[in-house]
Structure 1
Amino acid sequence: MTYHRDPRSMRWSGKLLQMMFFAGLILSPVMPNSTNAAPPGDMPFGAYDPGGDFANDAEVSIEHLFLPWEDVFLPSLIDADVYAQERNRAILTTIEPWTWNVSERNSPDYLRNSLLSGDYDGYMRAICAVLGTMESPVTIRWAQEMDDFSGQFIWAKWEPDDYVAGFRRVVDICREEAPQIDVMWSPLGFENLPEYHPGDDYVDLVGVSVFGLQRWEEAEFGNARSFVDILTPRYERAVQFGKPVVVAELGYVGDADYVQKWEQEVRQVYPQFPSLVGVIYFNQTEVYPWPDGFGLPDWRINERVE
């Protein structure tokens, strides 16, 4: 994969956007709330945007969708492809190996054993067969944040060798059905992430997650942190694999000054992050409680000022 940045405009070339990734799942028509929702800057920007706040924003070049592989309505992927094409956006598809019905989820051991034995091959083959028909450039992101042991994801805390074997199995199946796709491996960004790396042949891009919650930071560290503060150690861990790095999930909540500071930072091109090629906003309320009783932050762009 070849990446090129025009030094005159600091904008990524069209070829990059064609080769990179990304799509947001649009399950039903949405009414956009804004036409200029993206932060200022030159870094390629995308969003998971089920509410449609970024629907008419020409600055958005990446649409992100999340799929629970047990629940996905496959025709909706075609709708997402049309939506992305109409907006000249590429597609990132995060595929989560479970159901979104919490009461019906499997145990971590059951998921691991069934995945490695091939019982779930059909889920991945069906999804990727549809992805293989898409006109938009597509990247898949499977079983994200496996290095986060908070309890959010049942595929975290697996033995690293089991996660790697599962990741490779999924990618091999998907490449059979959709050979043109790219693959993002996407830890949260903690120190243990190298243990879960599936190997150079199975990764085209590395994703990390960056969320800023002012109240929690002040309680935990004594002061608020910046986008660069949080990204720096995660980028340094991710870049060691020699692949382009993406902030695959981004959000920030705090007072007006805190949000404005992040807004001015997240799309800048930083010399210390030469391999960073995009940031993708998570425009939705948090789905898993933050530690220490800080609840479910609302990352939505019209709700994030507290």
Structure 2
Amino acid sequence: MTLNSRKRLFPAVLAGSLLWTAAGLAAPPGTLPFGVYDPYGAFSDDPDVSIEHLFLPWQDVYLPSLAEADAYASERGRSVLVTIEPWTWTRDERNRPEVLIAGIQAGDFDGNMATICGILGGFQSAVTVRWAHEMEDRSGQFIWAGWTPETYIAAYRRMVDVCRAEAPEVDFMWSPLGLDRFEEYYPGDDYVDVVGLSVFGLQPWEQRVLGGERSFREILEPRYERALQFGRPIVVAELGYVGDQAYVDRWTDDVRQDIEGMPALVAVIYFNQTEVYPWPDGFGLPDWRIGFNVLD
């Protein structure tokens, strides 16, 4: 099914993405569809979860785990968002930007992408692929971030082309962090079915560094407004918040409700895991997990 045919079948959604239309139909009235990255299975029995988020590297990945993830999601009636990180999670000298850039340009990693997408193409669940996210972030967390826009766009397009050849039914999410000028990395309408954004709230950091707390909407809205120019559904692909009980309760209420004036926002997906990269200004590794994210 092509993107254009999906537009005709699902005219109510801006870009007509099959996965995100299905998620919207599954959501309770008056709420945004909800998904989770949930490696410990805390939401395994939650009927309100409609999207299962997976992270995997494209090197040294245990491929049989993908079939297990598909079975898990399919049993629960969930769509699947797969974030493919173009590196190995093992400490290795291959995890260097120059190695990754040269390898992508030479086609050395085409096989990695093709193998993973070949498996995803056989999933029972609807699948969206999110490749090399938060590409405009220059914090040093990701070896694929902070490249020139031209280099990143060429790499992204190449990987989508490779993946489409193996899995023509898969949708693709382009997913910046949401920093200023992220639109410079947009790879073009032919390569994006849905736009993902990241939204994290850390109350102690906001109080000390920003001088006051921020709400879910205050963080999301400027990113959302800039993403509207692409005419695609918008998803909060990574969400987390840590603070005192009142702060957590406010965020919990906000993120599940339809946001007035944000009709293109079609889902939010929670990152139910401890942070893996140190928060700036010495705030360590926030624990975003529900039930552990309330500070005394």
1:220 aligns with 2:209: yes
Alpha-carbon distance in 1 for matches of 2:103, 2:285: 31
Alpha-carbon distance in 2 for matches of 1:123, 1:70: 7
Deviations 1:4-53 (A, max 9, x none): 48xxxxxxx99811799xxxxxxxxxxxxxxxxx9996100000001111
1:293 aligns with 2:296: no
Matches within 5 A, 1:54-73: 54-73=43-62
- Determine if contact 2:20/2:266 at 8 Å carries over to the other structure: no
Deviations 1:31-86 (A, max 9, x none): xxxxxxx9996100000001111100000000000011102111111111110110
Choose the corresponding residue for 2:186, options 197, 214, 239.
197
1:50 aligns with 2:39: yes
Alpha-carbon distance in 2 for matches of 1:287, 1:270: 29
Alpha-carbon distance in 1 for matches of 2:11, 2:274: 33
Matches within 5 A, 1:109-148: 109-148=98-137
Could you say which residue in structure 2 is the equivalent of 1:161?
150
Choose the corresponding residue for 1:174, options 163, 172, 181.
163
Deviations 1:157-190 (A, max 9, x none): 1111010000000000100000000000000011
Could you say which residue in structure 2 is the equivalent of 1:10?
none
TM-score by length of structure 2 reads 0.91
Could you say which residue in structure 1 is the equivalent of 2:141?
152
What secondary structure sits across from 2:154 in the alignment?
Answer: helix
- Determine if contact 1:39/1:267 at 8 Å carries over to the other structure: no
Alpha-carbon distance in 1 for matches of 2:128, 2:20: 15
In the TM superposition, what is the alpha-carbon distance from 1:102 to its structure 2 partner? Answer: 3.1
In the TM superposition, what is the alpha-carbon distance from 1:103 to its structure 2 partner? Answer: 4.1
Choose the corresponding residue for 2:237, options 238, 243, 248.
248
1:231 aligns with 2:220: yes
Change (3 A) 1:91 1:270: same
What secondary structure sits across from 1:266 in the alignment?
Answer: helix
- Determine if contact 1:39/1:263 at 8 Å carries over to the other structure: no
Could you say which residue in structure 1 is the equivalent of 2:4?
none
1:17 aligns with 2:22: yes
Alpha-carbon distance in 2 for matches of 1:41, 1:249: 21
RMSD: 2.1
What secondary structure sits across from 1:169 in the alignment?
Answer: helix
Alpha-carbon distance in 2 for matches of 1:160, 1:189: 15
Is the deviation greater in 186-195 or in 137-146?
A: 186-195
Tell me the number of residue pairs that the alignment of Structure 1 and Structure 2 aligns: 282
Question: Which sections of structure 2, spanning at least 5 residues, go unmatched?
Answer: 1-6
Could you say which residue in structure 2 is the equivalent of 1:94?
83
The amino acid of 2:84's aligned partner reads I
What secondary structure sits across from 1:57 in the alignment?
Answer: coil
In the TM superposition, what is the alpha-carbon distance from 1:237 to its structure 2 partner? Answer: 1.4
In the TM superposition, what is the alpha-carbon distance from 1:128 to its structure 2 partner? Answer: 0.4
Quote the sequence identity (%).
Answer: 61
The amino acid of 1:16's aligned partner reads T
Consecutive aligned runs of 4 or more in structure 1 exceeding 2 Å deviation:
1-5, 38-41, 102-106
Could you say which residue in structure 2 is the equivalent of 1:32?
none
Alpha-carbon distance in 2 for matches of 1:206, 1:194: 11
TM-score by length of structure 1 reads 0.88
Alpha-carbon distance in 2 for matches of 1:14, 1:167: 21
1:75 aligns with 2:80: no
Alpha-carbon distance in 2 for matches of 1:243, 1:127: 25
What secondary structure sits across from 1:134 in the alignment?
Answer: coil
In the TM superposition, what is the alpha-carbon distance from 1:3 to its structure 2 partner? Answer: 5.5
